[in-house]
Amino acid sequence: MIERTFILLDGIGDRMERTLWDSGITTWGDFMGASSVPRISSQRKLRYDKDLLKASANLSVRNGDFFAHRLPGNEHWRLFETFRDDVVYLDIETTGHFAGNATTVVGLYDGATFKAFVRGKDLTREALASALDGKKMVVTFFGRGFDIPVLLHEFDIPVPPLHFDLCFAAKRLNMHGGLKVIERELGICRSDDTQGLSGADAVRLWYRYKRHEDESALSTLLQYNKEDVVNLEYLASKIFESLKTKVTGSF
DNA sequence: GTTATGGGTTTAGTCGTTTT
DNA sequence: AAAACGACTAAACCCATAAC
């Protein structure tokens, strides 16, 4: 998908990109190989050829920062397949807005293993930073509005440059509603222990664990968080494929 | 059910630039 | 000169969450 992307060129927006695709120029190679391109002067084409060459070089060394800066946040999804091996799925639980919104649990999943960091145990700036180190893309549900700002405010850690927020991506596919609703739409089932639990319940579970040192409440909370995070992977690949088809019209 | 919060996106409209 | 287009802006809107 990234090699079909032209909106990273300065002066090319989504409409011009569509025009290029429609005229048969569907990849960077097509563009650079064409002797001339409709609606683009030869002078500009020269500049774009250089830019695309630079993009190719950055793609081959897998430089996530390069693309993060050249694409608007709502188009970061285009790099999901490219950086799939360096993705981290992330979901946090907190004490809630009016209790200062302190992070209680940070759940991370890299596609193979799940790791939860718990406040008062192993949730530290250093542990988080090292777990996120080297990741090129973070996948969240509404993380742009919630998880990432909260984490930055509390821990000031470096986060991966690319961010695939499934909430806004799903909306582009006319899938409205929160994470649980969308999970159900895609046929994902929750375990018996966490069936029907919501974010508000996560707050309650935390307080139950804290007040009574109730380890079973914590373990339910961690299970809930784990399912949230692990399900993001399936959601992401589904949403990526649908978005790709929708945007390109699957030429 | 309503409201507040803080982050973000989308949409519609306007304006300036590029291409033919 | 006209058409097509991107950039910019502001307003509307969405989400998770909890207090009321």
Is beta strand A137-140 parallel, antiparallel or unpaired with respect to A103-109? unpaired
Smallest CA–C1' separation from A165, nucleotide: B8
* pLDDT surpassing 90 at residue A78: no
For position A99, what pLDDT does the model report? 56
Which of residues 104 to 163 on A have a Cβ less than 7 angstroms from any strand C atom?
Answer: 141-142, 145-146
Answer for the pair A120, A106: CB distance below 8 angstroms, yes or no: no
Average pLDDT on A113-131 reads 89
For position A176, what pLDDT does the model report? 63
User: In sequence order, which ranges of chain A are alpha helices (DSSP H)?
Assistant: 14-22, 28-33, 42-60, 64-70, 125-132, 147-155, 166-172, 179-185, 199-212, 215-248
Smallest CA–C1' separation from A163, nucleotide: B8
Is beta strand A137-140 parallel, antiparallel or unpaired with respect to A87-94? parallel
Set out the domains of chain A in order of their start, with CATH numbers.
2-61 (1.10.150), 84-245 (3.30.420.10)
Answer for the pair A135, A207: CB distance below 8 angstroms, yes or no: no
Residue A9: both structure tokens together: 């060129």
Answer for the pair A128, A157: CB distance below 8 angstroms, yes or no: yes
Which of residues 36 to 95 on A have a Cβ less than 7 angstroms from any strand B atom?
Answer: 38-41, 43-44, 72-74
Highest mean pLDDT pick, A8-12, A129-133, A191-195: A129-133
Residues in chain A: 251
Regarding predicted confidence, which is higher, A159 or A183?
A159
For position A97, what pLDDT does the model report? 64
Q: How far is the CA of A17 from the C1' of B12 (A)?
A: 21
| Spatial distance between the Cα atoms of A204 and A211, rounded to a whole number of angstroms | 10
| Spatial distance between the Cα atoms of A231 and A251, rounded to a whole number of angstroms | 29
pTM, to two decimals: 0.88
Average pLDDT on A41-65 reads 88
